[in-house]
Chain A
């Protein structure tokens, strides 16, 4: 482990999210200060390229689109708006291309689908809804169709609620109740990175902690194909779908308010036809293959996980938590890839005097 750089005073308030672009050569950061910064890596280090006020509220998340769509960023605001930004080819600077205002509570995470599905954005908001938008004109980026929306944890009588479905939500009440639950909830989404299985999104919302895997179809409403149920009912704060990289099964990681990082192995039937789904759905299986509670330790056993994320080859998982550590996990070679182990950790505490920076502390 080695520290390689430092960016001082990147924002005027706490940074809420940092996202590397597809190549890892640019970094977008957003903050409670309502601004987005885009940094370029140069020989001397990271250099601020652009900075702008993007929302009228704190920003929860930024995400890059695939470079084939140009320099495109989506941002999620606590005022309930997701925005699309494009870097202008001529003058530089970022232009607001669209504001997606359908959410009735703060938008917590935005993520673009893999490029093979076109320019498609999923958003999850604190009202418990996931919304999926398709860009109608990829060259203009100003027209976005709300292609799907559903409640992650619907009331029992409306399992799949698509446009205009039976359980109407009254906006003011929804915001109130969502607001009351926000303190102990978790809102997260992650797209399956591959095209082969169809468009799949893992999502979790609110306090339940259950992660649902939703499959989207061109001509029917989205279906839940599998669920990852944590042993207790704590909220899931982060979910990350590992790049497939040749595996015949999927790996997903979740982090929760119970301080646990979990890795799930999900086996899926080979997709045959978009329309034939019912039989196939029964063959999805999710098993827990790793469960770590290291993030609980330092905070007196009540810690929580902030974020989980896979590297680009799906071989390293990073997790962060209230123990103040970034932890890295890797499957051990000697176990045939079955057993996941800590590979390293990073903290921000004062070094112990006897430590020289490269300690074997675990």
Chain B
């Protein structure tokens, strides 16, 4: 694609005068947005900032620009082709043999789907509607796409079993659909004349109708020649009409052998007509307007299958190489195979080269020549949708080298598909489609897809009542994509971002992402530090099931089991507390400390939690052994902290203390010690009974 340039408005300087800004100490600067590859552009100081920099009007402006036009008009094609692309991807992924009948039939069906989608877009854009946005591509662009993709299907994705069948009829059909000639208006005009042969357009029209196989029009105008003043011509036309009527066409036959025999017999009859023509004396070959004999001879020459006549006539008619090649497969070599087409094309190009200024023509000529690399090169210049989707089908058909380029480490297909995905990324609302295309492109695509997916905004802080369901929907889509493409660790991060820690842990387990799992557990514990026990208990209760999953998973080696166990059981204590089941809560707390399930950094927090149980009036919640346990842990913390290891024990309590330091944390622990002393006093007095 050619480089495009835009100048931003309002402009900062007259055209060609940026140098003046440089002289006054300015330079342009830009930053790329991770959201959609757009740019924030501003003026910046050049060199050292100084008060001498002359001020400039609007120099504090930030401009925003996007390097790809945001797809609007072609959104229809982007969306419709996406489902087909996904279907191809899953077809190819799930089949061992890519060349099986089933796979090829699916590929053909899906390729035809693409053709239909393009056609729909073309029709849609051809409607004279007023559109809210400027269109990116014109209807003409879609017409080109339609013609090109259809040709690709004709040449490279034939019906299964017909790969080796003659291709002429299909090519002519394609030409007749996409490049209509001769025009209907011309036909209407000529048919309105009493003596149409007197019109200069008559013979060209008739000849082209015959080349195009438009038998109805051909026969109509041949019939008119029966009124021509020359009896010679009338006689010849009487012979020609049944020949045109009975021209054997491949679709009329079930076996190619029968078609070949019929073609041979028919050709013999054409030769007989030629003999009759040659008998006409030179001086009888004119009418008042033209040399009718020459014109008729051209037609017969084409029917005889004389390539040089066909090419010369097409040139005179203003037809191009495409018409010659298609007609070649009808008249010159009616058994022309797809694989023989490049040789024919090479010969035709010698006299009728494709138009190098017309990209569509260049792509078509590359398709006819069977040069896949060139097809993709020109297609990507024309429309990267086209190159990506062609490459995606070309690879399984064996038309592209599947080996990765040693330099870019990407296969041809992946290069083109990634390029399209880059374009899609300019519209962040298309993220789901973007990511699916990226994830189909090997390791490079997967990692690019991860970057895009990790940046999908999850608007957690919007209290709107509708938002949670919208958010849930986004997360669901992300997790589905991740599952389909084996990117469970990305799903895990997404769930963690949405504070759905249970699912986050579950995904990190299936991704075997152990560091990720560790981070999630830390995040859950952080909920306690930041938001307190109730919020923490709520979040942590959802990770309980993951604990069972983790226990049954031997791969982890128990490294994370303990941290997760602690998080779950600690949250359970808070849940019991909130339900006022203090006996159970106190008992669990002691277990966490005694069995050292709690990490050392959490001991002080647990000790502070025990305050509530120690001071609980109605009952004694701890046994003497329990209290001893509390006291031992307290001693260890205090002694080790005084020895300079406070960092191992106190950081969490410090954090929960919001602003205090170790000193304040130790102060807090002193109140625990006091509470323990009081509790022991109550316990030894024996006036109350210990309940467990």
Contact = CB atoms under 8 A, between A and B. Distances in A.
Interface string B12-28: 11111111011000111
A18 B419 CA distance: 27
A322 B44 CA distance: 11
Interface of A: 1-20, 22-25, 27, 29, 31-32, 41, 46, 58, 68, 78, 116, 137, 139-140, 182-183, 243-248, 298-300, 303-304, 306-307, 309-316, 318, 320-326, 328, 330-331, 333-334, 336-338, 341-352, 355, 357-362
A12 B60 contact: yes
B36 interface: yes
A344 B30 contact: no
B644 to A, nearest CB: 15
Contacts of A244: 447
Q: Is the interface of B mostly helix, strand, loop or mixed?
A: mixed
A27 B6 contact: no
A4 B38 contact: yes
Contact of B65 (A4, A27, A320, A330): A4
Contact of B6 (A3, A18, A315): A3
Contacts of B446: 246
Interface stretch (B181-189, B358-366, B449-457): B449-457
Interface in B645-671: 651, 655
Contacts of A304: 27, 46
Contacts of A78: 49
Contacts of A247: 409, 444
Interface in B58-116: 58-67, 69-70
A18 B60 contact: no
Given A20-B32, A246-B448, A324-B28, A27 B40 contact: yes
Contacts of A68: 519
Contacts of A12: 60
B18 A323 contact: yes
B408 interface: yes
22 contacts: A3-B6, A6-B61, A9-B58, A14-B26, A14-B44, A16-B44, A16-B49, A18-B62, A19-B31, A20-B32, A116-B515, A246-B446, A300-B19, A304-B46, A307-B44, A310-B32, A313-B448, A316-B32, A324-B18, A330-B422, A331-B408, A344-B67
Interface stretch (B222-230, B320-328, B410-418): B410-418
Contacts of B448: 245-246, 313-315
Contacts of A300: 19
A346 B6 contact: yes
Contacts of B410: 336-337
Q: Tell which of A13, A245, A298, A307 has the most Cβ of chain B within 10 Å.
A: A245
A8 B58 contact: yes
Contact of A346 (B1, B5, B35, B69): B5
A274 B139 CA distance: 59
Contacts of A32: 45, 49
Given A13-B60, A15-B42, A336-B408, A24 B36 contact: yes
B35 A20 contact: yes
B11 interface: yes
A350 B7 contact: yes
B445 A306 contact: no
B529 interface: yes
A11 B29 contact: no
A16 B42 CA distance: 8
Nearest to B378: A334
Given A2-B69, A6-B63, A349 B451 contact: no
